Chain A
Amino acid sequence: TQLLEQSPQFLSIQEGENLTVYCNSSSVFSSLQWYRQEPGEGPVLLVTVVTGGEVKKLKRLTFQFGDARKDSSLHITAAQPGDTGLYLCAGEGTGANNLFFGTGTRLTVIP
Chain B
Amino acid sequence: EAGVAQSPRYKIIEKRQSVAFWCNPISGHATLYWYQQILGQGPKLLIQFQNNGVVDDSQLPKDRFSAERLKGVDSTLKIQPAKLEDSAVYLCASSPNPGELFFGEGSRLTVL
Contacts and interface: CB of A to CB of B under 8 A. Distances in A.
B42 A40 contact: no
Name the residue among A6, A42, A90, A104 with the largest chain B CB count within 10 angstroms. Answer: A42
A11 to B, nearest CB: 14
A73 B48 CA distance: 27
Contacts of A74: none
A80 interface: no
A42 B42 contact: no
Contact of A42 (B56, B100, B103): B103
A104 B42 contact: yes
A33 B91 contact: no
Contacts of B105: 40-42
Nearest to B35: A101
Nearest to A88: B42
Nearest to A44: B103
B43 A97 contact: no
A98 B33 contact: yes
25 contacts: A4-B42, A40-B105, A40-B106, A41-B105, A42-B4, A42-B93, A42-B103, A42-B105, A43-B101, A43-B103, A44-B103, A45-B100, A48-B100, A88-B42, A88-B43, A90-B42, A96-B56, A97-B55, A97-B99, A98-B33, A98-B55, A99-B45, A99-B101, A101-B42, A104-B41
